[in-house]
């Protein structure tokens, strides 16, 4: 019984050290988690952003009466088409087809990765075209 009285604080010290080590390991894992994301999901989010950016510019052009039919080049910054994933540059290609149906424009934006036949994202939207009114 005398021996247990001398080691009374030993169990408490073990619990405190174990809690510190566990919380330190949890902090390390939480900081490492964003670096372990799926690169495919990052590429898909970038492609969605590029498609939405192109559609927004085309809607603006349609509102001004300046949207032409046929193939339309990417209207954003050319730097936006290149991103770095896992240390290597990835280049996106944005193609846009615009079809006319009266005052409506059917817009189809396709985003692909150059050199990757498996990656493709397509966004379609119908935009109201406002003809240029000259006074």
Q: Where residue 108 falls among pLDDT bands split at 50, 70, 90?
A: very high
pTM of the predicted model over 0.85: no
pLDDT tens per residue across span 88-105: 778 889 999 999 888 888
pLDDT tens per residue across span 11-69: 778 888 899 999 988 888 877 666 555 677 778 888 899 999 999 998 888 888 888 88
User: What pLDDT is stored for residue 40 in this prediction?
Assistant: 77
User: What pLDDT is stored for residue 6 in this prediction?
Assistant: 61
Is 17 part of any domain? yes
Asked if residue 93 and residue 63 are part of one domain, the reply reads yes
Asked if residue 113 and residue 60 are part of one domain, the reply reads yes
Report the alpha-carbon angle 72-70-96, nearest 5: 40
Rounded Cα gap, residues 127 and 107, in angstroms: 7
Q: What share of the chain is helix, strand, coil (3-state, %, to 5)?
A: 45, 35, 20
Domain count for the chain: 2
Range of the domain at 30: 2-34
User: What pLDDT is stored for residue 34 in this prediction?
Assistant: 60
Lowest mean pLDDT among 51-60, 77-86, 107-116: 77-86
Asked if residue 74 and residue 13 are part of one domain, the reply reads no
Asked if residue 86 and residue 29 are part of one domain, the reply reads no
Neighbouring residues of 109: CB distance < 8 A, sequence distance ≥ 6: 51, 54, 55, 94, 95, 96, 122, 123, 124
Asked if residue 73 and residue 45 are part of one domain, the reply reads yes
User: What pLDDT is stored for residue 135 in this prediction?
Assistant: 46
């Amino acid at each position: 019984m005398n021996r247990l009285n001398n080691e009374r604080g030993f169990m408490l010290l073990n619990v405190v050290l174990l809690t510190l080590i566990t919380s330190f390991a949890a902090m390390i894992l939480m900081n490492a988690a964003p670096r372990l994301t799926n690169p495919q999901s990052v590429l898909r989010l970038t492609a969605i952003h590029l498609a939405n950016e192109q559609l927004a510019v085309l809607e603006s052009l349609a509102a001004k009466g300046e949207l032409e039919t046929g193939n339309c080049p990417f209207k954003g910054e050319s730097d936006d088409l290149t991103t770095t994933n896992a240390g290597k540059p990835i280049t996106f290609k944005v193609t846009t087809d615009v079809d006319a149906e009266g005052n409506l424009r059917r817009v189809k934006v396709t985003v692909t990765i150059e050199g990757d036949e498996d990656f493709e994202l397509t966004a379609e939207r119908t935009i109201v075209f406002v003809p240029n009114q000259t006074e």
